[in-house]
Amino acid sequence: MGPLTIVFARCLQAIPTVFGIVVVTFLLTRALPGDPAAYFAGASATAESIAEIRAKLGLDQSLPVQFWTYLKDLSSGDLGQSISTGQPVAAELLRRLPASLELTLTALLLSVAIAIPLGVLAAVRQDSWIDQLCRLVVTAGVSLPTFFTGLLLIYVLYFLLGLAPAPLGRLDLLHVTPPQVTGFLVLDALIAREWATAWSAARQLALPSITLALFTLAPLARMTRAAMLQALASEYLRTARAAGLSRGRVLMVYAFRNALLPIVTTLGMVFSFSLGANVLVEKVFAWPGIGSYALEALVVSDYAAVQGFVLSMAVLFVLVNLAIDIVYTLIDPRMRIEG
């Protein structure tokens, strides 16, 4: 099978998953105890407004009919209206998505850049100080609640040392938001050549992304170390050593490339975790992403918004998994024959 066929096959395989997600998000609102119309109407609704909404949303019809309507709305990109802002949910989510993505991707990049070298070194120099450091990072990382790390960092770096700016969003009030190109403020400011703005945005981004990175560091470093150790103990590595291959080649081409397979898989898990942790970090740092949006919606029981948030997060995750699957297939020839 050629690479294109594989990519296509993987995309086809993602379709049932997306369908499952749509079914679950639909069921979450319609099949659970409680009156969905009341949720959709919001906290301050009267009996009449609820009845009106029920009719308007088609909740008086049978479940399959409702599901069909839901599917039709989804296919036209309609996630419903937010009751608190009156705006279409899809538009609001799209507007806030770049902020969340900027945070998540920066954090992920940061943690990959630290975790993988750390895990590799820990495995290569087993029981050395770097291995102990890795062990410490891993144990601390899985035990620290994200929101707590964030608060600690704020207290130390903002309140005590004054190094970090106030944890109040993406940009302080002194700077004007640069024209949107990528939606990532730091990049946009750089493109617009507004260096001061870029610096300010980067300073704002630093603490939340470090918080998130600390959280994702642990599983990645642990898996890197374990996968590397397994590869180092493998029989093919012994063959490579017995053939006199140089240490660098043995480590990089023989051990690391094989270790990469489980690492890539873990990356998917880590992404899932960080999408969840994002919500917490956004709350701590008042980051105006979709997590904050969902939290505002939760407070006022704005259900269309919450539903839209859950759905879009899941779809985002499916896309990431799809990308990871494709990367995996390209690295591992064994995956290519299983259709």
Partner 1 sequence: MIQPLHNPPLLAVRDLCVEFATRRGPVTAVRAVSLQVAKGETLGVVGESGSGKSVTSYAVMRILDRAGRIVSGAIEFGGINLNGADEPTMSDLRGREISMIFQNPRAALNPIRPVGKQIEDVLIRHAQATHDQARAKAIAALEHVRIRHAAQRYHAYPFELSGGMCQRVVIAIALACRPQLLIADEPTTGLDVTTQRAVMELVRDLTRSDGMSTLLITHDLGLAGEYCDRIVVMEQGQVVEQQDTRALFTTPAHPYTQRLIRSTPHAARTIRDLLPEDLRLPQPPAASPAGTGTPLLEVRNLVKVFDPPGGLLQRLKSRGKSAAGTFRAVDGISFGITRGESVGLVGESGCGKSTTSAMIMRLLDATSGSILFKGQELTAVPAGEFARSPLRRELQMVFQDPHESLNPRATAAQAIADPLLRLDGMSGAAQIRARVERLAAQVGLPLDLLDRLPHQLSGGQKARVGIARAIATHPELLILDEPTAALDVSVQAVVLNLLSDLRAEFGMSYLFVSHDLEVVRLMCKRVIVMRAGRMVEEGLTEQVLSAPEADYTKELLAAIPRPAHLLHRVSHTKVARA
Partner 2 sequence: MADAAFTPPLARISPPRSAFTRSFAHFRYVMTSNPITFLAFLLLAGMIVIAAFGPALVPHDPLATLADKALKPPSAQHWFGTDQLGRDVFSRVIIATRLDMLISVSAVAMSFACGATLGAFAGYWGGWFDRLSGRVLDTIMAFPLFVLAMGIVAAAGNTIQNIVIATAIINLPFYARVARAEVSIRRNAGYVQAARLSGNSEFRILLLKILPNTLPPMMVQLSLNMGWAILNAAGLSFIGLGVRPPTAEWGIMVAEGANYIVSGEWWLALFPGAALMLAVFTFNLLGDGLRDLVDPQRRT
Q: Which residues bind partner 1 (CB under 8 A)?
A: 126, 233-236, 238-247, 249, 253-254, 257-258, 261, 331-334, 338-339
Q: CA Rg, the chain, in Å? A: 24
Inter-residue contact 13 to 329 (CB < 8 Å): no
Q: Which is nearer to partner 2, 95 or 283 (CB)?
A: 283
Q: Which is nearer to partner 2, 157 or 261 (CB)?
A: 157
Those residues whose C-beta lies under 8 Å from the C-beta of residue 150, and which sit 6 or more positions away, are 167, 207, 208, 211, 280, 281, 284, 285
Cα 282 to Cα 275: distance, rounded to the nearest angstrom: 11
- Closest approach of Cβ 88 to partner 2, in Å? 20
Q: Which is nearer to partner 2, 186 or 214 (CB)?
A: 214
Q: Is 224 in the site for partner 2 (CB under 8 A)?
A: no
Inter-residue contact 308 to 28 (CB < 8 Å): no
Our CA angle for 44, 48, 51, nearest 5°, is 100
What the block records as the tokens of 38 is 């009341």
Q: Is 34 in the site for partner 2 (CB under 8 A)?
A: yes
- Closest approach of Cβ 136 to partner 1, in Å? 22
Q: Is 20 in the site for partner 2 (CB under 8 A)?
A: yes
- Residue 48's binding partner out of partner 1, partner 2, none, with CB under 5 to 8 Å set by partner kind: none
Of these, 95, 203, 283, 336, which contacts partner 2 (CB under 8 A)?
A: 283
CA distances from 211 to 104, 188, 206, 323 (A): 11, 23, 9, 25
- Residue 15's binding partner out of partner 2, partner 1, none, with CB under 5 to 8 Å set by partner kind: none
Those residues whose C-beta lies under 8 Å from the C-beta of residue 247, and which sit 6 or more positions away, are none
Inter-residue contact 239 to 134 (CB < 8 Å): no
Residue 289, Cβ neighbours under 10 Å: how many? Answer: 25
- Closest approach of Cβ 202 to partner 2, in Å? 21
Of 300, 276, 278, 298, give the one whose Cα is nearest residue 289. Answer: 278
Q: Which is nearer to partner 1, 28 or 245 (CB)?
A: 245
- Residue 72's binding partner out of partner 1, partner 2, none, with CB under 5 to 8 Å set by partner kind: none
Q: Is 33 in the site for partner 2 (CB under 8 A)?
A: yes
Q: Residue 250: what residue type?
A: V
Of these, 119, 167, 169, 208, which contacts partner 2 (CB under 8 A)?
A: 167
Q: Which is nearer to partner 1, 206 or 261 (CB)?
A: 261
Those residues whose C-beta lies under 8 Å from the C-beta of residue 190, and which sit 6 or more positions away, are 198
Q: Is 288 in the site for partner 2 (CB under 8 A)?
A: no
Size of the site for partner 2 (CB under 8 A): 54
Residues binding partner 2 (CB under 8 A): 16-17, 20-21, 23-25, 28-29, 32-34, 39, 139, 142-148, 151-152, 154-155, 158-159, 166-167, 271-273, 275-277, 279-280, 283-284, 294-295, 298-299, 301, 303, 306-307, 309-310, 313-314, 317-318, 321
